[in-house]
Structure 1
Amino acid sequence: MDALPGTTRTADRSARPLWTLGLFRSELATTFRRRRTLALLGVLAAVPVLIGFAVRAETAGGGSVGDGGGQGPAFFTQITHNGLFLVFAALAATLPVFLPMAVGVVAGDAIAGEASSGTLRYLLVAPAGRTRLLLVKYATAVAFCLAATLAVAVSALLAGAALFPVGEVTTISGTRISFGQGLFRALLIAVLVAVSLTGLAALGLFVSTLTGSGVAAMAATVGLVVTAQILDAVPQLDALHPYLFPHYWLSFADVLREPVLWDDILRNLGLQGVYAAVFGSAAWARFTSKDITA
């Protein structure tokens, strides 16, 4: 018996890679047009500006950042000498809390948000397929990781250049590199920070498949971030620390050494890959066997 013409066209369309690309573009547009997403990016971009003005105000009278003895948070004491350090300081300040919370909101809402709004069944009626839809949702979350990190980095670069002098960069090792090399390392650090959040994105996507409430999924994902950060700060649990996804997040500082120390950076990338594989597979197993009722 011949297949229905419409069925054949639908199957052919769903098998085309361009259909997946079109679905990805549509998901990107939907995600980045949401007011919530724009608000998150706006808040992230505002953090470096606030840090820059705070440092400028504190050092306006010739004082130093910190307690008056030049001791401040990592990178902060160098901002007044080179505005490029505002990029490193802003990423170090936002990575423990602001960036992962923003990613947790977007990833946690990926599937659960569609279910709570009643659009998930509609998406699955289209020739997307559960596996393809899940991959597109994860790819969009990863794209947000990069967009959020770049929002911080670009805002910090512009604020740093406007408020402080820029020039040669003094590395943590005490050597000096050109501004161009420093700018390249800042870009590399931004990419590393974005990749550092991909494990969390997979974890949030898995949580999102467990519930039909977008708010609950977002809250649970953010709660896991906070819990992991607390566990990573408890000295008695040092044997557990290397397996927690935030443990190597600040390893990007080693990019500012001469030569660059790659050991912890590679450990971080490997750990994020493991989290992405494990929780991505768990999300796939849950989503493909889940009874969609909304």
Structure 2
Amino acid sequence: MSSEKASGERASGEEAPSEDAPKESPRGRTAPGRQGSGWRFMGSELSVLFRRRRTWALLAALAAIPVLIAVAVRLSSGPSRGRGPAFLDQVSQNGLFVAVVATIVAIPLFLPLTVGVVAGDTIAGEASTGTLRYLLMAPVARGRLLAVKYVAAVAFCLAATLTVAMAGVLIGALLFPVGPVTLLSGTTIGVPEALLRVALVSLYVTLSLTGLAAVGLFLSTLTDVPVGAMAATVVAAVVSQVLGQLPQLEWLHPWLLSQYWLGFADLLRDPIVWDSFLANALLQAGYALVFGALAYGRFSTKDVLA
């Protein structure tokens, strides 16, 4: 009887799906099997992130910051000296300063806001749509899933800062003259080196946001409501900056997430001073390790029921 049943199954031509075969998620993401490639999973995650209209809306909002600054300066008789962000007085003389001014304006709120939206959605967003359970059944190791989500959030940090800088350079070149740039140390450099300094500033700001991305990842493991994790991540960034303005808490300042966010001014000197860059890298690495470990500890024991 059992042989007849087995022959009937063979005759049907149907095979049970392999446990190691890749599967397609409701979001269009291919989750790797046990023998699957981590690079394929990473590519799929980045593709999903940068195909979302929300991601492009956030980048468009960031690109609008330098455009608004440049248009405002262009339409006005000129910036008032001693008022506004650093370098604002030089915008009308050299369009390359638009990128730096826009970065200074975006750091306190706009960049943390967009990073908070993306980082807070990493795990909570999957849980709210029901795809988290699918990903873990694929199967995907929880640690690797967290790592992929974090790298994707850092990739968005880089995209966000480059968007501000590139939009600033383009609109600055369109509305104002572009020429040699005088650095904070008084040295004058040519346009190619000035563009390189702008790129270094973008990398510095990206590094500054990696700790916030780790905080958002951890908060995202605590809830199935993405909006809650997003809001909490932004609040963490704001609270850090508020505490940094209180002289009574000066002992705490070196440990605050936002302590070195504006330290990229050292990259606009000749020669470049790397002290702030190194201190910022150590601080952000510490935040990434601590909150990454907390996220793994929470997520590895979390029951995923939906």
What is the TM-score when the length of structure 2 is the normalising length? 0.88
1:24 to 7, 23, 42: 42
Instruction: Determine whether 1:73 maps to 2:91.
Output: no
Q: Deviations over 1:37-73 (max 9, x none)?
A: 11111100111000001111123xxxx412xx45442
Match of residue 137 from structure 1: 149
Q: Secondary structure at the match of 1:282?
A: helix
Shift, 1:9, TM fit: 6.2
The aligned runs of 1:20-59 (5 Å cut-off) are: 20-59=38-77
Instruction: State how many pairs are aligned.
Output: 282
Mapped partners of 1:8, 1:34: distance in 2: 28
Distance 2:133 2:83 in 1: 56
Q: What is the one-letter code of the residue matched to 1:22?
A: R
**Inter-CA distance 287–178: structure 2 relative to 1 (3 Å threshold):** same
Q: Does 1:287 align with 2:299?
A: yes
Classify the secondary structure of the residue corresponding to 1:24.
helix
- For each residue in 1:179-235, what CA deviation from the matched residue of structure 2 results, as whole angstroms up to 9, or x when unmatched? 111111111111111111000000100000011111111111111111111111112
Q: Is residue 128 from structure 1 mapped to residue 146 from structure 2 by the alignment?
A: no
Q: CA deviation at 1:82?
A: 1.0
- When residues 70 and 239 of structure 1 are mapped into structure 2, their CA distance, relative to the original with a 3 A threshold, is closer
Structure 1 residue runs of 5 or longer lacking an equivalent are none
Greater shift, 24-33 or 249-258, is seen at 24-33
Identity of matched residues, %: 55
Larger radius of gyration, structure 1 or 2? 2
Match of 2:8 in 1: none
Question: Could you tell me how far apart the structure 2 residues matched to 1:70 and 1:93 are?
Answer: 16
Moved more, 150-159 or 22-31: 22-31
User: Does the alignment pair 1:185 with 2:203?
Assistant: no
| Native 8 Å contact 1:110 1:208 kept in 2 | yes
Q: CA deviation at 1:127?
A: 2.5
> Which residue does the alignment assign to 1:167?
179
CA separation of 1:35/1:260 partners in 2, compared to 1, >3 Å: closer, same or farther? Answer: same
Corresponding residue for 2:103?
91
Tell me the distance in 1 between the aligned counterparts of 2:39 and 2:272.
37
> What is the CA deviation profile of residues 107-136 of structure 1, one whole-angstrom value per residue up to 9, with x for unaligned ones?
011001111111110111113221111111
The residue type equivalent to 1:279 in the other structure is F
Q: Deviations over 1:18-38 (max 9, x none)?
A: 621111111111111222111
**Quick check: 46-55 or 232-241, which moved more?**
232-241
Residues 85 and 105 of structure 2 are in contact (CA less than 8 Å); yes or no, is this contact kept in structure 1?
no
Given the alignment, which residue of 152, 155, 160 partners 2:167?
A: 155
Question: Does 1 or 2 have the higher relative contact order (CA < 8 Å, sep 6+)?
Answer: 1
What pairs with 1:251-266 in structure 2 (closer than 5 Å)?
251-266=263-278
Cα distance in 2 for residues equivalent to 1:241 and 1:249: 12
Runs of 4+ in 1 over 6 A off after TM superposition: none
- Residue 100 of structure 2 aligns to a residue in which SS? helix
Structure 2 residue 206 is the aligned partner of structure 1 residue 194: yes
Work out whether residues 85 and 104 of structure 2, in 8 Å CA contact, stay in contact via their aligned partners in 1. no
Q: Which shifted more, 36-45 or 126-135?
A: 126-135
Provide the secondary structure at the position in 2 that maps to 1:80.
coil
Q: 1:15 to 1:192 in 2, by over 3 A?
A: farther
Residue type of the partner of 1:243?
A: W
Q: Is the 8 A contact 1:20 1:128 kept in 2?
A: no
